[in-house]
Amino acid sequence: MNGKPIIKSTVKPSFPAKMDLSVGKGVNTRLQAIASNPAQTLQLVKPSSNPLTKPVPRAPAVPTGLGMDSSTFRARMVSKLASHGITDTRVLNAMQTTHRHSFVDTALANQAYEDTSLPIGWGQTISKPNVVARMIELLFEGKTGNLGRVLEIGTGCGYQAAVLSHIAHEVYSIERVAGLYEKARENFRPFRIKNTHLLFGDGMLGFPKGAPYTGIIAAAGGDAIPQAWIDQLAMGGRIVAPVTNKVAGEQSLVVVDKTEAGLKRTVLELVQFVPLKSGVI
Ligand code: SAH
């Protein structure tokens, strides 16, 4: 991978514009950050306290279409991921553990372990398992030990955030569509995901309160990587995001590494993600 430096260094600005953050400490506090500008409104939500691996009795049952044991379907999916070149066992284990079928509509649950993107409402889609695994593998490439805090832009149905919760120390995930933010909260409810904060807001602004992040991962693609993400990235950290080249009209996966020598940008394969949009709806 030949990366070319694009920016020498970054100075952390006083970003974002003032927010009235009534924020408590720790993940068990319900937090609300209300800005005067609704586009900058963020809510940090108390994670639910039920097991991800062991749904409580009220959790959605494994849909009929999946047969008796959804773990068999996940095992097949994981072996396909491995045969497509995913080698990081942390990623493969997280994909094996996370119930993708619980994050899509019941009518689509029997397709949950196929390598396909699926509609999640509001014109958005959950990414293919292959793409989720590839991006998370890139995010943690070369990193060991405490994997620190990760910021995800585009919670959608919450699936990727749930996968990340098994690998990162702490996850902040932002969604700009209120209905999807609520849906992700609902999807999280039956599972014990203690280290993940779901936020409602404009992810283009990042979430400075949780910074610096070891990794920032975007599930929606804009024309450029927002400066806020670069500012909120820790030294040695990495951004993995789809970026659209307006001239070519193509979207590629881009990796940005923040190093002492500056930013290293690497353009990888072509991808197809929903657009990164500003503001909230
Ligand atoms: N990771 C998600 C994929 C959702 S698709 C999953 O596992 O389901 C991408 C999401 O990005 C959409 O829900 C879209 O609303 C959201 N999005 C787009 N622009 C955004 C922004 N500026 N801030 C936060 N979310 C954004």
* Neighbour tally for 274: CB within 10 Å: 17
Higher pLDDT, 74 or 25: 74
Ligand 1 center–CA 238 separation, angstroms: 19
- Residue 35 in any domain: the answer is no
- Residue 38 in any domain: the answer is no
**Which residue, judged by its Cα, is nearest atom 13 of ligand 1?**
156
Ligand 1 center–CA 254 separation, angstroms: 17
Tens of pLDDT, residue by residue over 44-62, are 444 344 344 444 333 444 4
**Which residue, judged by its Cα, is nearest atom 18 of ligand 1?**
276
What's the number of domains the chain is made of?
1
Q: How far apart, in whole angstroms, are the C-alpha atoms of residue 265 and residue 281?
A: 31
Tens of pLDDT, residue by residue over 71-130, are 999 999 999 999 999 999 999 999 999 999 999 999 999 999 999 999 999 999 999 999
Evaluate if residue 258 carries a pLDDT over 60.
Answer: yes
Q: For the whole model, what pTM was predicted?
A: 0.80
**Which residue, judged by its Cα, is nearest atom 17 of ligand 1?**
154
127 noted as active-site residue: yes
Determine the structural domain holding residue 100 and report its residue range: 71-275
Residue in the block written with tokens 């990162």: 168
The whole-number pLDDT of residue 78 equals: 98
The whole-number pLDDT of residue 66 equals: 59
Mutate to test the pocket of ligand 1, among 41, 108, 273, 274 (most ligand atoms within 8 A of CB): 274
Whether 126 is in the pocket of ligand 1, judged by its Cβ within 6 Å, is yes
- Residue 2 in any domain: the answer is no
Q: How far apart, in whole angstroms, are the C-alpha atoms of residue 123 and residue 162?
A: 21
- Residue 251 in any domain: the answer is yes
